[in-house]
Homo-oligomer: A and B are copies of this chain.
Amino acid sequence: MYRIGELASQCDIKADTLRFYEKHGLLAPSSRSGSGYRLYTKDDASRLRFILRAKAVGFTLNEISELLSIELDKANWACADVKGMVDNKLEQVTAKIAELTQFANSLQSLSNACCGGPDSAEHCSILEALESEDKQLSAKNETSHKGHHHAVK
| A100 to B121 Cα, complex, angstroms | 34
Copies of this chain, whole number: 2
Give the contacting residue for A86; candidates B80, B110, B120; CB below 8 A. Answer: B110
Within 8 A of B (CB), among A48-75: 49-50, 53-54, 56-58, 67, 70-71, 74-75
Q: Does A141 contact B (CB under 8 A)?
A: no
Task: List the B side residues contacting A75 at CB < 8 Å.
Answer: 120-122
Of residues 104 through 137 on chain A, the ones whose CB sits less than 8 Å from some CB of chain B are 104, 106-108, 110-111, 114-122, 124, 126-127, 129-131, 133
Q: Does A97 contact B (CB under 8 A)?
A: yes
| Contact between B54 and A130, CB atoms less than 8 A apart | yes
Question: CB of A24 within 8 A of chain B?
Answer: no
A79–B96 Cα distance when bound, in Å, is: 30
Interface residues of A (CB under 8 A from B): 46, 49-50, 53-54, 56-58, 67, 70-71, 74-84, 86-87, 89-90, 93-94, 96-97, 100-101, 103-104, 106-108, 110-111, 114-122, 124, 126-127, 129-131, 133, 148, 150
- Top 9 A-B pairs, shortest CB-CB distance: A58-B103, A83-B116, A57-B106, A90-B107, A83-B114, A77-B121, A74-B122, A74-B121, A78-B118
